[in-house]
Amino acid sequence: MLPRARASLARMRRLHPGARGLLEEWRALLARPVEALIPVLLTPAPWSRELRHVTPFTGLLTASERAAVYRAFAESELVARDTCGDMRTHITAHASTSI
């Protein structure tokens, strides 16, 4: 996947010279190990969001692959929400009996 992202980045650099700064950031990131990319791809930090506006990963997944990713994300969010809800119920019940 990284070789395709690098090829996409080279094409983007030719087509979008106005985005040079962000594309240079991507060039540096794509030269690093894939583990270094994961936080950039996942964090809600403003710098990461800005980078993702011009991501070289666009178009690397098929429509069905993207749909599978979205489904898995939605399912993980539901599990996380249910787990947090269970924890809140337990904490609230424990706090009311401790008072």
Helix (H, G, I), strand (E, B) or coil at 92: helix
| pLDDT of the residue at 92 | 54
User: Does 89 score more than 70 pLDDT?
Assistant: no
- Domain annotation covers residue 84: yes
DSSP structure class, residue 98? H
pLDDT (tens digit per residue) in 24-75: 999 999 999 999 899 988 999 999 999 988 999 988 889 999 899 889 989 9
More reliable by pLDDT, 48 or 92: 48
- Domain annotation covers residue 36: yes
On whether both 18 and 48 belong to a single domain, the answer is yes
pLDDT (tens digit per residue) in 2-19: 999 999 999 999 999 999
DSSP structure class, residue 18? G
| pLDDT of the residue at 83 | 72
Residue 91 domain boundaries = 62-99
Into how many domains does the chain fold? 2
- Domain annotation covers residue 75: yes
